[in-house]
Structure 1
């Protein structure tokens, strides 16, 4: 092994270990496996320096163990993206068998067997995730990472298959095997690290974007997420539908009497009911506090009112008993349809809010509908645009 390789490779691999460690501290689980893997590989490449300082046959097995452990962690990091913990017992068995064969080879002083056992073990460990990930390449980052892993797997397979040709004279340090191993590791290792880092950072950005658009308690969209989703639908031509505004009745009294922890459980329970009854095309959001909004594309007022009533009845029937509340838990609903004259979705929300206030005024636990703007001066009870059910 050249002195430049001996110095550069451990530093390069350890640097990526530190970098992925920083990303892991941002709560990116896969980054922890990448970090551990690169530290193991860095240790494996640093073994010759340790051997030069303190010659011992044990260093060979230490290097084999570090490389095998690094590739086991590589496989877990990849599968965190594509199929978490897939075939974990099989991969651990491959890791153990590879090390067992390496130990036997060292005991027999059979260097070719040791190298073949290590290379083929690493090939299987990093090759199995390719099987799991081949149908899950949804974006360019995954495809580039898949290509980098394929090159790494091919390197180990080809190197292990050509040991008799590259291990001249039985001496590892000055062999073509050692040179090609380190030279290719510089290129493919750098490619793999950069591809993994790019994919991980894109995952992190996607998570931050999701957090920015979703309510952390209910898991539904927040107001910003709702607005952006509706704007995207409108750009695609979705101009018809109904909008439901939902507000839990006497929610402050629940918080005051039973504490905010139980109030949070009420919010989560209602969010689950909304998800249960809303169709797949619905856009569901928590606007804050106890107020929820559903947009139902291409659905008329009668259909939307049926869904609102299903939600209302399920909430009144199930949640109080499930949470141990002494009194029934109900919600009021306001419903409006989108009109061609609306300048934005917020005009429909304003009509639904007005219908919600009417539901509250009429005794709560009901659905009130406002299909269009009322005629100025028309009494509320006589307006054909309004109806209440409950």
Structure 2
């Protein structure tokens, strides 16, 4: 091993191990596995220096076990992102078999067996997550991480398959082409993998912070900022659909009679119903207080009214009884459709708000459709 590699690789691996400890403290998924993996691999690269300082048999087996452990942890970190827990017994068995074969190679003095067993085990351990990753690599951090892991897997496969070409029987291991290539490729592909994993972890953290900034903590629905952001993305392409406004009836009386904690539970219960009964492409948000909005792309007034009616009935029949309240809980709904000449979604929201006012005026606990829309539909039916 060259002197530059001897110092650079352990320091590089330990640096990334420390970086992932920090990222782990920020709550990034899998960061603990990444940290432990880089520390293990860095420990494997320290072994030659340790062997020179304290000559004793068995150092190479310790290095083999550290490398295998590092790659087992790499696979765990990748699968924690793409398919948690997949084939864990199989991966542990590969790790154990690698250790046994490396030990056999050491006992029998068969260095090629030891190297091939180590390389192929590392290849299998990091290749398994790549099989599970294909459906999950839609974002750029995942694609970058997939590419880095692929290069690392191919490096181990090619190196293991070419041991007879890179390791001469009459030369020391550290002076061999195998050792040089191992260190050189570890510098390149190890750095690539570390940076890709770090980028993916930081991207996850930023996405979580953004989601928290766009989400109402009580209802777990979008807040106004999140709603505007989602609608802005929706407006990038022409779309039609319906808008529903929802307001809990006599909500002040709920707070006054049962306390604000009970009022919070009522809001959360209605949010759960909206989330459960809305289509997957719906944009559902809490606009503040007891008012909610639901945007339903590609749903006409009739289909949207059916969804609103399902929510109304579910809320009226289930929530009060489930919470042990001795008074009915109801909600009113106003519905409008998006028009081609609307300047923004807020034009449709304003019409839905007018329909919601009608629902309140007519006695609450009902779904009202914007009057102009109703008149138009009736005229169309008469025609």
Q: Same fold (TM over 0.5)?
A: yes
Paired positions, count: 375
Q: Does 1:105 align with 2:105?
A: yes
1:370 equivalent in structure 2? 370
Pairing 1:7–2:7 present: yes
2:32 paired with 1:43: no
Compute the displacement of 1:297 (Å): 3.0
CA–CA distance in 1 between the matches of 2:203 and 2:328?
A: 46
| Contact 1:241 1:337 (8 Å CA) reproduced | yes
Cα deviation code 1:246-301 (max 9, x no counterpart): 12234344455555555444333322321333234432111123221012234444
- C-alpha distance in 2, partners of 1:68/1:212? 41
Residue correspondence of structure 1 range 130-209 to structure 2 within 5 A: 130-168=130-168, 169=170, 171-209=172-210
CA distance in 1, matches of 2:136, 2:355: 46
Give the superposition deviation at 1:185.
Answer: 0.8
How far apart, in 1, do the equivalents of 2:54 and 2:256 lie? 70
Deviates more, 1:181-190 or 1:268-277: 268-277
Checking the alignment, whether the CA contact within 8 Å between 1:339 and 1:372 is kept in structure 2 is no
Deviation at 1:70, TM superposition (A): 0.8
Name segments (4+ residues, structure 1) moved above 6 Å.
Answer: none
Instruction: Give 1:231-310 correspondences, 5 Å limit.
Output: 231-238=232-239, 240-255=240-255, 258=258, 262-310=262-310
d(CA) in 2 for partners of 1:73, 1:259: 50
- C-alpha displacement of 1:307: 2.1
User: Secondary structure in 2 aligned to 1:334?
Assistant: strand
1:22 deviates by: 1.7
Choose 295-304 or 87-96, whichever is displaced more. 295-304
CA distance in 2, matches of 1:163, 1:234: 58
CA distance in structure 1 between the aligned counterparts of 2:226 and 2:195, rounded to whole angstroms: 31
Taking the aligned partners of 1:355 and 1:225, their CA distance within structure 2 comes to 24
Decide whether the 8 Å contact of 2:37 with 2:70 is kept in 1.
yes
Task: Name the structure 1 match of 2:16.
Answer: 16
Q: 1:63 to 1:260 in 2, by over 3 A?
A: farther
CA separation in 2, counterparts of 1:151 and 1:342?
Answer: 51
Q: How far, CA to CA, are the matches of 1:339 and 1:354 in structure 2?
A: 16
The residue aligned with 2:29 is 29
Secondary structure of the residue aligned to 2:175 is: coil
Partner residue in 2 for 1:380: none
Instruction: Give per-residue Cα distances to partners, 1:330-364, cap 9 Å, x unaligned.
Output: 21222233345543322332333343344334443
Alpha-carbon deviation of 1:205? 2.9
Partner of residue 72, structure 1:
72
- Point out the more displaced range, 333-342 or 222-231: 333-342
Unaligned runs of 5+ in 1: 374-382, 386-390
What is the CA distance between 1:194 and its match in structure 2? 1.9
Structure 2: unaligned runs, 5 residues or longer? 377-383
Shift of 1:123: 0.9
1:84 aligned counterpart, secondary structure: coil
What TM-score does the superposition give when structure 2 sets the normalisation length?
A: 0.88
Q: Deviations over 1:161-200 (max 9, x none)?
A: 2323333326322222211111111111112212222233
Aligned residue number for residue 378 of structure 1: none
Say whether the 8 Å CA contact 1:337–1:371 is kept in structure 2.
no
* Distance 1:230-1:135 versus aligned 2 partners, 3 A rule: closer
Q: Indicate the larger mover: 199-208 or 65-74.
A: 199-208
Question: What SS class does the counterpart of residue 174 from structure 2 fall into?
Answer: coil
Tell me which moved more, 120-129 or 159-168: 159-168
Alpha-carbon separation, structure 2, partners of 1:125 and 1:110:
23
Residue 336 of structure 1 is matched in structure 2 by 336
Comparing 90-99 with 169-178, greater Cα deviation is found at 169-178
Alpha carbons of 1:77 and 1:256: their partners in 2 closer, same or farther (altered >3 Å)?
farther
Q: Which deviates more, 211-220 or 94-103?
A: 211-220
Distance change (3 Å), C-alpha of 1:187 and 1:343: closer
Report the aligned-residue RMSD.
2.6
Question: Which whole-Å CA distance do the structure 2 matches of 1:260 and 1:46 have between them?
Answer: 60
Mapped contact 1:301–1:371 kept (Cα < 8 A): no
Whole-angstrom distance in 1 between the partners of 2:97 and 2:90: 10
Deviates more, 1:29-38 or 1:360-369: 360-369
